[in-house]
Amino acid sequence: MTGFVGEPGAATSLNSRAAEFSFWRRRSLRWQVMAAVIVINLCAALVAFVVVILNAQRATRLEMLSSVAIAERLVQETAERLAETVGGAVSLTQLPLHITSLRHVRIHIEDPDGRVIAEAPSPAVARDDADDDAEEVPDWFTALVTVEPAGTTIPVIENGQTIGRVRISGEASDEIAEVWQDMSDLALLAAVVNIAILAALFLVLGRLLQPLHALSAGLHELEEGRFEHRLPLPRVRELARIVERFNALGTALNMARQDNFRLNERLVRVQDDERRQIAADLHDELGPCLFGLRANLESIGRLLERLDADPAGRIGERVATMGGILDRVQEGNRGLLRRIRPMALGHVPLSAVIAELLANFERHAPDRRFDLSLDGVAEHYADSLEITVYRCVQEAVTNALRHGQAGRIAVSLREEAKGERLHLAVEDDGLGLQPGSTPGFGLIGIEERIGALGGSWQLVPVAPRGMRVEIGLPVRAAEPLPTTRERATAS
């Protein structure tokens, strides 16, 4: 049993068709239009050539038949006139002198035995032109136009006896030469006209398709996220409508991105505001409570000094234990405050907050080296931008110490694009990004924050070893958060 899928001929045919279609699709629209016009012109030229050949054959056949008929009447009239002139005698040698100026025929005068004794001359100029044209006509064209020869034989009778014959045969060479000359001139004219048309079509297509190339480049700009890119309107009405829709799409995408940026930034700022509120509550509510506990424990310690040694010692141990627990709670509260939101943000310059963060890392890792470079950094930025920069430095340095085992960490923060963008770089000489490693929650959170603010980031390997984190954040004016009274009014 044979299956359709297993037939090699069908698979080969499908593959060849797919290859041809793919070859045609890879060509430009200008190339396809030019190729189609050239193919149409070639087909038209082939049809015209066939029509010319058929018309030439018909015209040659009719011309030969007409010329043979005219020559036959001329020969008969000439023979009768000569017979009347010489008293009933016809001289075969005199016939060629009276039969001239006949085209498209050959006249041979033969004796009764069939030997050619004379040939009627053709017009000298016509014969020379025909010979020159015949020399120029290609053999293949002559073979295409040549038709079956036409001719007739006229007997010459004198005193009731046949003294000879006049053989008339059609001659198509001069007619073929005329057809070849006309067709050559027509072909030359058609070639010149077609070349001019193709050149004009090439230029016109270039001007018409230029907006499509610009549209393709514009779509690439949109793909790269540059929604502010606009295209000039072309002069072609249909293409102008497409370009108008493209520009409208770019405007809509740019507005949607701006709205997303504003919403994401507001979301980040709302989250930071909640963190700030939680941190303030921990600091204002839990802090005083812990301080009160500490003061009361110290007071109890002073009272114990007045009691007997035995109960005072036991109570002192309990107080010391409670004091240790209180120290751990206070330390945990301070760490929680730092993780939720650094209290110094918004109150001291951003550069001082970053420097304090690196100093804190240095206190916990004294055997590591930390470098800080600040270039043109303003004192304050939008709250969401400052906390994002702080968290990015904190996470990058933590990863370099914990996972990269770096010995040196350099932090660089500077303004770019005339203060419209902040560039942050954290470079270390550690182990770098290990194969198969997955980003942790810290990097994921940083990536979400950067994306929400419309920024970008990348990890770049450093030679001979280490990793560099590069972050770019746009600087925008901070939108004021609604106050408590505004929230209450809105609700």
What string of DSSP letters covers 166-218?
A: EEEEE--HHHHHHHHHHHHHHHHHHHHHHHHHHHHHHHHHHHHHHHHHHHHHH
Confidence of residue 487 (pLDDT cuts 50, 70, 90): very low
The Cβ of residue 439 has, within 10 Å, a number of other Cβ atoms equal to: 13
Tokens 């949109």 appear where?
A: 222
**Is the CB of residue 386 less than 8 Å from the CB of residue 345?**
yes
What would the two tokens of residue 466 be? 């280490």
Residue 138 has pLDDT above 60, yes or no: yes
H-helix or E-strand containing 108? Answer: strand 105-110
The Cβ of residue 112 has, within 10 Å, a number of other Cβ atoms equal to: 12
Mean pLDDT over 280-299 rounds to 69
Q: For the segment 430-453, what is each residue's pLDDT rounded down to a tens digit?
A: 887 766 666 666 677 778 778 878
Residue 242 has pLDDT above 70, yes or no: yes
H-helix or E-strand containing 458? Answer: strand 456-461
Distance separating alpha carbons of residues 358 and 363, to the nearest angstrom = 9
* 381 vs 159, more confident: 381
Distance separating alpha carbons of residues 424 and 411, to the nearest angstrom = 7
Range list of β-strands (E), 326-379: 369-375
Distance separating alpha carbons of residues 434 and 37, to the nearest angstrom = 60
Confidence of residue 346 (pLDDT cuts 50, 70, 90): confident
What would the two tokens of residue 175 be? 């007619």
Residue 351 has pLDDT above 50, yes or no: yes
If DSSP codes are grouped into helix, strand and coil, which group holds residue 409?
Answer: strand
Mean pLDDT over 49-66 rounds to 85
pTM: 0.45
Which whole-number Å values give the CA distances from 110 to 122, 156, 380, 388, 409, in the listed order? 17, 10, 125, 119, 121
Residue 424 has pLDDT above 90, yes or no: yes
Q: For the segment 181-239, what is each residue's pLDDT rounded down to a tens digit?
A: 888 888 899 889 989 998 998 888 888 778 878 888 888 888 888 888 888 888 778 88
pLDDT at position 490 is 42
Q: For the segment 94-132, what is each residue's pLDDT rounded down to a tens digit?
A: 666 667 666 777 777 777 777 777 676 655 444 455 445
